[in-house]
A = this chain, B = another copy of it.
Amino acid sequence: MKHRVLPSIAAVTALVALVGCSKSASDSEKAPAGSTAAVEEVRDVAPALAAYHKEKVMKLWQRPGLSDRDRSLVTVAHLIAGGHTAELSFYVEKALDDGVRPREISEAVTHLAFYSGWQNARAAIPGIKSVFAERDVKKSDLPAVQPDLLSLDRDAEKSRDDDVRSNFGDVSPGVVENTRNVLFRDLWLRPDLKPRDRSLVTVVALVTNGQSEQLTYHLGRAMDNGLTATQAGETLNQLAFYAGWPRVFSALPVVKDVLNSRK
């Protein structure tokens, strides 16, 4: 392939569509899950995949067991946690349409910086910012930097902290201290994402990034915070299509153990 002169906006638009890692102005990329241009592009390479998307993935959203609102929160959390920016704007728009509030999306990004790494949260900012601008989301629609925190369950937190401190206090005092002060006495108490949703977002990040070994604690916490067994099972079904089957099959035994332990 030779250097070509790209004189025009058309070429740039095509480029953006091609790179598949951008968040931008082109239609094919703004509406990857449904627009004609996006479906055509998939069809040109993998007609069967385009058909599966239409017949299986889109119908997934109509299943009972998990509300549209929860499916949207799960899917957006998956995209952020996995560093997948190409379809993020589309699903953030859908999430807003499905009743997820801007302050909840904002708070999910903040939460996932700690639970899926700073770079993944940072990468999600432009795609979300463009949707917020389009929807005219105002500063006052976003969480305060220092809101009144939810009240701390001191006994549960003492038990958690004692456990981590006795296990790892000698290994990494910094981690133990920050887990306590930054995460469990601050981040988790921020009010703009309900504890149940914060836990759900965490569970999604763990499944997406293949960290089943951390699921036991966080799924238990999610269920303490109100996530039902049916919702947990249907979250896995949603993630099978988005994060892939192997991630979900690695999570299933852990989820089963957590459900059994609570019977």
Contact = CB atoms under 8 A, between A and B. Distances in A.
Interface of A: 1-27, 30-32, 41-42, 44-53, 56-57, 63, 65, 79, 82-87, 106-107, 109-110, 113-130, 132-134, 139, 142-146, 167-168, 170-175, 178-179, 182-183, 187, 190, 205-206, 209-211, 213-214, 229, 232-234, 236-237, 240-250, 252-253, 255-256, 259
Contact of A122 (B20, B116, B129, B211): B20
Contacts of A206: 246
B24 A18 contact: yes
Say how many copies of this protein the assembly contains: 3
Contact of A23 (B19, B82, B122): B19
Given A9-B6, A211-B247, A175 B236 contact: yes
Binding site secondary structure of chain A: helix
Given A1-B130, A19-B24, 16 more contacts: A4-B25, A7-B7, A11-B12, A19-B23, A19-B85, A20-B126, A45-B106, A48-B143, A48-B145, A49-B110, A50-B145, A170-B259, A171-B236, A171-B259, A174-B237, A205-B244
A210 B169 CA distance: 21
A5 B25 CA distance: 9
Contacts of A128: 45
11 contacts: A11-B12, A18-B127, A19-B22, A32-B122, A45-B109, A46-B107, A118-B241, A171-B232, A172-B233, A172-B248, A172-B255
Contacts of A113: 49, 52, 244
Contacts of A30: 1
A21 B80 CA distance: 14
